[in-house]
Structure 1
Amino acid sequence: MGGAFLAAAVLARLGARIGLPTIPLFILAGILLGPNTPGFVLVDDPHELEMLSALGLVLLLFYLGLEFHMDDLKTGGRKMALAGGSYLALNVGAGLAFGFLVGWGTSEALVLAGVLGISSSAIVTKVLVDLGRLGNPETKPILGIIVVEDIFLALYLAALQPVISGADSMSAAAGDAGKAFGFLLLLAAIARWGIGVIDKLISTRDNELLVISFLGAAVFVAGVSEWFGVADAIGAFMVGLMLGSTTSGNRIRKLVHPLRDAFGAIFFFAFGLSIDPGDLPTVLVPVLIAVTLTIVMNVFAGLVAARLYDFGAGPAANIATALLARGEFALILATMAAGAGLDERLSPFIAGYVLILAVLSPLAAGSSHWLARFLPGGRDAERPRQAALQGDGAGGSGGAGGDKGTDPG
């Protein structure tokens, strides 16, 4: 564990000197020091870090919930549902079509629909944090789309399991989906009407007790969520949503930062451990096609979300690039597919597809202003910005320093 922390830190420090984001470097550290590459092996079995990795995912999504206020759900629920539904329709639909075109089988196509259709909540959260965009207007629809995706995923996994395993009981599948949906409704009801009680239970002046309380609540509800067939990530998110609305919310945000960053790094490191680069050449062509298809669908989804929220080209590009990453949920589907004995090409395909997008997404999000120039209205919005920058430079005040904190989007 110590070696994993240090390896991630060393690579991230080196990458920071040349402006690279931390996420692909954490993943690269896991690949280089895992059992699937030659040279020194730090971790023989990726499962050795499984619990720490799960904790990293829980904390990333818990923090995401803290930043997503209840008022956003109350006032923007309809737009959020439309944006999330549009994103899923474009990406899951494209994934299903791709799965049938590849010709690996119907069950495999259903798995690929989920792989290509669902963003990585962990990577999206980390990208938003690293780029300092949590306060941006377009971040609300991004978080809303993630919430809709997670709810869809909970139901999709419950319905998919009996299908890919060959079960013929639709009643069992419906029962699992109903159980997952019922638990989600319970969490939503608590978040809507139980904040007052939660506030009294969590409130304390002692930071030590507050950390133990919110950490225990997030991990416990995440575990219970899995038992009900809901992704642990959405359970942790809902706890963050509840606690963020209490009087202790601001203190919790500050206290969770170091925990989120440390165990988030372990999550991405463990993700790298699971990737075998030697398997990638056999599925390189379909991987590149799928990556291209995902980029195109995300651009369309970004434009749709921007239109719903009356945003311009810059926010549309930010939405498209921030949601590009695929990660933990794709790996869950790969595990399910392997356990069900589906086509052997699925595992290396998913690994290569996820790796490329995990590396590409932070880079694309950081340079989203380049994409914005090619979107409708992008060049018109760029002209006044360039004129303003030239005016600042001519005036001698502000200059590079004055523009340093400006988000290109």
Structure 2
Amino acid sequence: MTNIKSSFFCFLGFILLMSTAAIAQEKVVLTDQEKTTSDAKALNIPEGYSKNLHWNLLLDSIGSNGSTISWKSSKPEYISNDGKLLKRSPRKGKKIKVTMTATVTAGSVKTKKAFDVLVAYTDQEFQGYLFTYFEGSGPRSSDEQIRFGASVDAVNWFALNNNQPIISSEKISGTGGIRDPHILRGEDEKSFYMVATDMNTGKNGWAHNPGIVMLQSGDLIDWKHSFIDLEKIYPVKFANIQWVWAPQTIYDPAADKYLVYFTVKYKDDLKLDFYSAYANKDFSGFENEPKLLFSPKYGAIDGDIIYKDGIYHFFLKGNTKDENGKETKNGIRQAIGKTLQGPWTENFNYLDAYSDKKIMVEGSSIFKLNQSDTYILMYDLYTSHRYEFQRSKDLYQFTPTPESFTKNFYPRHGSVIGITVEEAKRLNEKWGGVPENLLKTK
């Protein structure tokens, strides 16, 4: 009898447990009003977009509860109803304010939500270019330093400061050397950010480097600086790190922050992956522990990201391997994504003119010509002291024949930004070397 009772209560408990689970799993049915209210509340246009829009908006069309979302622009000549940026604010006066109104619909119920968006000014009228690089013609102890070059046309280049460093690597780095400097103009148009590989190959060789150097300036002359040793700051994740190479910075409007990304290799792994972290407000370190950004199929180095027409183009130096793991091709290619966090889709079509010729290139960097719709993809032919480039208007197709820079220096992996005449004069007053035709440009 006792066994029968015990079995009965076990069976009853099982039935109650299953009933409770079924109730828990039963989906709560929302009314149409609740659906539209919830989906409207979830809508957001990040501040990085709304305060200074110079990208297309990524607008939701379906809510998480199944409601449909349509949008209407108060000034469709500036921002279309589907979020495309068609026109920028004129530089005279305040930024144009556009109200984007979402209508969230479920059944016959409609809920509206509006967002004000300030359209960015038209691009600054840059008259010249600044090239930041390290050298490749002398001893590594003097080569691995930040240098500047200037140009009026982005083809003919002149070294500033007699091709001497504009700031000592001993002063700004942990190793006493830097490589791969990258410069970015900030969203406020008057701040500048540089990052570089903290590496002294003359002293320490290629076996290991600890991290990166970060610099910030308001005038291109005086630079605040810090260096980030990933192994020491993040010992759990990066205790076994071997290389931290070629950092770069890009503004992320979705987060309203600057994202720093770089190649990482661990000592016990042959893979070369890209990691990233958001810079803190004074650009002296990271807000968070770096995390994996992109893992290319065969690994890659020298990442360079640029945004165009709703797409992020991630240029990199990569390779292709056969089924036996043997490299069959090596050069510059790209991946694309709709957000900086990915996902990234790799394209194995090589862009540089040398991938079929077994001539090594690296350190690619892309920039847009001033007052033009043409982009320059430049790269370092590091075994021959050559620096060449190819042109594109869409970032997919590039001119097949490379062109050469003329220059009075031997740059290694660097980057370029546009500069104004006023900035060129300031640089010339400090270091000299800016070409006269740039200084006299109106």
Decide: shared fold, TM above 0.5: no
Q: Identify, as 1 or 2, the structure richer in strand.
A: 2
Higher share of residues assigned helix: 1
Larger Rg: 2
Q: Which has the higher relative contact order, 1 or 2, with Cα contacts under 8 A spaced 6 or more apart?
A: 1
With the length of structure 1 as denominator, give the TM-score of the two structures: 0.24
